[in-house]
Amino acid sequence: MTAKADREVRLQAYLARAGVASRRRAEALITSGRVSVNNQVVTVPGCQVARGRDIVQLDGQVLEWQELMTLAFNKPRGVVTTMTDPQGRPTIADFLDANGPRVFPVGRLDYASEGLLILTNDGELARRLMHPSFGVAKVYAVKVKGHPSAEALRRLRSGVMMAPPACSRSGPPAARAPQQLSPRANVHVLETLRINTWLQIEVHEGQQHLVRRMLDAIEHPVLRLVRTAVGPLEIDDLKSGSVRRLTSRELFALRAAVKLAEGAPPRQPAVEQPGAPARSAGAPARGAERKGEGGTPGHRRRPPGQGVATHDRPRKRKDRRSR
């Protein structure tokens, strides 16, 4: 028996690497009595187990330790950011290899939103990417109704009083959550259409429907919302409905953004590794929709670690100012 096989890890970490759930969710599974080690029910999350020696089961099913995998997924509209849905709607699981390692989404994109979603079974990477203390940037291309004024954009950049999430607005008035100040955002205009506008918005927090609530507050509601980047990782030419494994350089940059990387980055771009075959939803490649109102203007590339400039003027495009 090798030292590597005998290396002990916490039980919740084992469950996370088996692709069952995040570490936090794994703790709840353990305390509820659904997990056993060597046929003995364990309810203490801090229990140590040895890979290759101990048999870990969830609801009687043996769990296997999996290799770490991190994927980029271009989520289409009309897909829920879960692995299963009781209402029978399309989920991200429909786009993944059923025989591959189990992965889970890092954060969420709502049903009507689209764009870059990171999927991984690396629990610590996921935790850090979502934790506000690391300030990982999320960049969105957003089509809004009307033409926001310079004052409206200034309010977005400095913080605007906005309504709480929808779940906090239900119930009797006395119990409803008050308005809250939005986090500061980097904002500039991508494209001015005839009656609508494309904005680029960069935020460093993850709140429910944050960008939508911010734009509702300045009375320019969202018509379309596309996430184009998370930290140093950009969506680039990944087609809607497609998924791919991160290259070694991309993974290093992502881990470096949350202080997990060690050593120097890979010198040469790595060949994409097998294990996550792409499955396209049949959407056109980036740029194919860009004629007229239905297209998404390409987001501006920026050096890693730098914010989006807020003083850039709209890009002028001849004969393309449709609605």
Q: What positions carry a catalytic annotation? A: 110
- Contact call for residues 126 and 177 (beta carbons, < 8 A): no
Euclidean distance between CA atoms 124 and 97, whole angstroms: 23
Look at the block and give the residue holding tokens 């509702």.
Answer: 216
Rounded to whole angstroms, the Cα distance separating 264 from 157 reads 35
* 85's tokens: 């849905």
- 287 with 279: CB under 8 angstroms? no
